[in-house]
Structure 1
């Protein structure tokens, strides 16, 4: 195996240089991280070896745009949280740790953000305040957990917990996307096949069916009418103005309808109705509930474990959920908890959360281990997603 030169920061905050045997630069990086080193650079001795990318320089399809067209990805933010937690646990001051992470960052967009945060902290601002100035990269969950960590003097532990939370959330998100690919392909292929049958196959039998003296069965007549509609309106039937305009009108109506539907789904009322419908779809509704409840429990449990007050934790959790049904339920839960009710009571009465979830939360309240129980709920539902 080739040798790779590396530069890293050890647990004492000192720079370490050396060589390590590995099959690739990525493997070398993993071996070094397993030894508790924060890697800043890995290069190969062989001319063909290429420098390994920094931990925060992974490409991704989705991210947040900043000046110059660059992107700050969710993976990069997670890596930064993990690196910062490691450096703080090693005893480095926050400002020095930020300077090191900023120095080794290779993504220009994120480097600019980290530079601004470092400057803000050096001027005496709180770390959470510096993060809050960049909402496109650091959401409310991130900022509030850091704020709680600062207040409790456990910023390193909170950052480690936050990194773990984000890593698990990203794994679940990737699994959900992967699981949705196959159904989407199947539905798309099925739609194409049905259209081909209606436009090409059914017309071949249409004359034969029309020549029969007996009336066609209702279902057969419906299929024939759909086929005729597609031929008349979706395909040019003749080289005349009317024949050419029909498809144009049809596609305009379809496109306009799709645009209007998308706009309506973007409204609060439209999203609420759509989410309620999805919840009732067999199998799909159950899957959505599992994923959403897992995210709720993981987010809420992480916030509680980090010292965020319960009412504030409910609000932050509600804002992180994309499902309107559960978000509205949490809004009602917030009001009742504020009035003095135990968390488990309004959760159970909302009708949105499974009985097992509310029962485990009740046990957590009674034993004083609410955050641990919430994270256990998330683990159980994550296993179901797997």
Structure 2
């Protein structure tokens, strides 16, 4: 969220501006870390914020998380304190979303939070499993091992997702080709047959009549059907984001002929 602030610098110069943070306390910490003494801070609630909208859909690439976790593990293993390690990594991050999250994590660490507590504030980047692993690593005093475990896990998870996507390519291509063939037949082939039957004075076969009835129905009510389909897709996507929806989606994936086996093998491989 965005905040507008008024404050002054260390040389008593008045400044105004906007800062983005996860909350009011984080915004104050960011400004204080930047050397500002804040006089007032107000949350910005615009009707439409293109930057906020784009960040809502911004994704963090699994490869970025793998690289981040492994590099952080190396720095911690080398004896670098966690705050300095994160600040070093932040300078080399190309993903703006992840860079912003790391900035807020550093602020939280400076305020006295543990690493696991700071990461829990950012579920978009750090899953509950990631955070729980870090908690265990902190308690055992082996943070670098936990970071490497999560890097390997994310990497395997990404590879399994790619395998599932590749398995879906062939059925999708077949489906698209089938739709194209049907569209060509309905648009070009069937009118020719209709003209031929009409010239001969013969009656169209029953299957042809049924197909024509379906085509006419789609032409008359196609827009309504597309709108209904779009609503179903959006509703299904929203449902799949819920715990119950994810459970049903996982059950469906396991029942699919080829994808089910890939899913089982990939999930088992993550535990090894």
- Of 225, 245, 252, 1:254 maps to 225
Instruction: Please say if 1:177 is aligned against 2:204.
Output: no
Contact preservation (8 Å) 1:65, 1:71: no
1:337-385 Cα distance to aligned partner (Å, 9 max, x none): xxxxxxxxxxxxxxxxxxxxxxxxxxxxxxxxxxxxxx1xxxxxxxxxx
Q: Which of 1 and 2 has higher RCO (CA within 8 Å, sep 6+)?
A: 2
1:121 aligned onto 2:109: yes
TM-score between both structures, scaled by the size of structure 1: 0.48
Distance in 1 (CA, whole Å) between partners of 2:248 and 2:92 is: 47
Shift of 1:162: 1.0
Going from structure 1 to structure 2, the CA distance change for 1:165 and 1:209 (only over 3 Å counts) comes to: same
Shift in alpha-carbon separation, 1:273–1:73, aligned structure 2, 3 A: closer
Equivalent position of 2:174 in the other structure = 186
1:77 aligns with 2:48: no
Deviations 1:89-119 (A, max 9, x none): 2222222211211233243332221111112
For the 8 Å contact 1:146–1:159, the answer to whether it is kept is: yes
Instruction: Find the partner of 2:188 among 200, 224, 229.
Output: 200
- Give the Cα separation in 2 of the matches to 1:144 and 1:297: 20
Q: What is the alpha-carbon root mean square deviation over aligned residues? A: 3.2
Q: Structure 1 residues 171, 186: closer, same or farther in 2, change over 3 A?
A: same
Contact 1:81 1:163 in 2 (8 A): yes
Structure 2 counterpart of 1:225, from 197, 205, 210: 210
Matched residue, 1:140: 128
Asked if the contact 2:76/2:144 (under 8 Å) is kept, the reply is yes
* 184 and 137 in structure 1: CA distance in 2 versus 1, 3 angstrom threshold: same
Change (3 A) 1:257 1:279: farther
Aligned to 1:289: 260
Residues 1:154 and 2:139 aligned together = no
The answer on whether the counterparts of 1:120 and 1:130 sit within 8 Å (CA) in structure 2 is yes
Structural mapping, 1:1-386, within 5 Å: 66=55, 72-209=60-197, 220-230=205-215, 232-234=216-218, 247=219, 249-263=220-234, 265-266=236-237, 267=239, 279-280=254-255, 285-298=256-269, 301=271, 375=272
Q: 1:298: how far off?
A: 4.8
Give the C-alpha shift of residue 83 in structure 1. 0.5
